[in-house]
Amino acid sequence: MNSTSHALPHATAGAAYHLTSHAFGTGDFRRKVYIQAGLHADETPGMMVALTLLEQLRGLEAAAKLRSEIVLVCNANPLGLSQWLFGAPVGRFDFASGRNYNRDFPMLAGKIAAVLEGKLTQDANENLVVIRQAWKAALTALQPATLFDGLQRQLMLLAHDADVVLDLHCSREAAMHIYTGQAIWAKAEPLARYLGAVASLLAYDSGASSFDEAQSLTWWQLQQQFGAYYPIPTGTVSVTVEHRGQRDVSYDMAQRDAQAIIDYLTHQGFIDGIAPPLPELAGPATPLAGSEQFLAPASGILVHRAQLGDVIEVGQPLFDVIDTTSGVTTTVHSKTCGVFYMRRDVRYVKHGDPLGRVTGATSQRTGKLLGA
């Protein structure tokens, strides 16, 4: 294992921030896997999984079982981990700018395309190399203006040339679910099976420019532009994994999820061995645009009427909001048939607050599909 400390630019006077990456199986491998956790810095379940992987990968490397380079970042956001408010860690948004750490990553398909003129051939493998070189050059040329931009650029530099990118997160209160690209679903599906994901939410472009989309969507965009003339491979299969809710931290769950990732990488040939038989999908893949989002119809005490992972029928009551002055209860019913995969962790809400989501088989929403 080679560990590298990457200094992040533009820290304020007297402060310093470093990102640490661990590379396993470095050598003559042609393929690469990149795994990070904690981009939203207060989401510790994913970090627990990454730390479990750290130990497992040490063992696999010592046993000469790796068939690819695997780069692991257990704490992808040292900036967010330094943010505290009234005694609690707050790692989803940058205090300085209000920006969500997993939004608006640099989308560089345009800059990559601009330098591909005359370089693409009828050989998909050659095109893969040429595109990755152009991508690295475009990332290197970025001039980050802030700590936030410098962190995003460094994470992209570590991940952009990987064949598989896994970004480990969690939700507020949730069952295991994943987000990934519609175009790469066939290659991500075994991961959903091993993880036991009750929901796999697919989009070509969610409009969020999240970390996973900054990888796989770039390939899809290049395929749209050049695919009629040249073979453009799908260079990266990238997935955001939501390891349940923020409080779902245990050794058992971390061990289970880390093993699921090892099984997936074994199944895909990145690790030597025979993967366990693929389990059934725990829930069908559905369009991200089909998920129904529920908003509080009033201010009051939030009482959940459904359990995470439940299959919900149309008309089923999901939430009660109780007015704390009058005692009047307003009930929110589902208009969708699907899986109840995430909900809020607070028990008092104000009018218009998001309450939770149920998957839906039919696309309903347009525009930006992910909230703040």
Residues that bind Zn ion (CB under 5 A): 40, 43, 169
Q: Which is nearer to Zn ion, 271 or 370 (CB)?
A: 370
CA distance 59 to 206: 37
- Distance, CA of 321 to CA of 297 (rounded, Å): 8
Closer to Zn ion by CB, 156 or 321: give it: 156
Nearer to Zn ion, 43 or 149 (CB): 43
Chain centroid, CA 232 distance in Å: 24
CB of 43 to Zn ion, least distance (A): 5
What's the distance, CA 313 to chain centroid?
A: 28
Identity of residue 119: K
Rounded to a whole number of angstroms, the minimum distance from the CB of residue 176 to Zn ion is: 14
> H or E stretch including 216?
helix 211-226
Distance between CA 255 and CA 136 in Å, rounded?
34
Question: In angstroms, rounded to a whole number, what is the distance separating the alpha carbons of residues 191 and 271?
Answer: 14
Structure tokens at 192: 């959903």
CB of 92 to Zn ion, least distance (A): 7
Give min distance, CB of 50 to Zn ion, in A.
13
Choice between 214 and 321, CB closer to Zn ion: 214
Question: Which residue, 160 or 169, has its beta carbon nearer to Zn ion?
Answer: 169
Q: Tell me if 194 sits within 8 A of 279, measured CB to CB.
A: yes
Instruction: Tell the smallest beta-carbon distance from residue 370 to Zn ion (Å).
Output: 10
Q: Is 69:23 a contact under the CB 8 Å cutoff? A: yes
Minimum gap (Å) between residue 38 Cβ and Zn ion: 9
Q: Which lies closer to Zn ion via its Cβ, residue 24 or residue 105?
A: 105
Instruction: State the CB neighbour count (10 A cutoff) for residue 191.
Output: 24
Residue 94 to residues 49, 88, 205, Cα–Cα distance (Å): 24, 15, 24
Give the residues across from 327 on adjacent strands: none
Least Cβ distance, residue 228 to Zn ion (angstroms): 36
Smaller CB distance to Zn ion: residue 36 or 266? 36
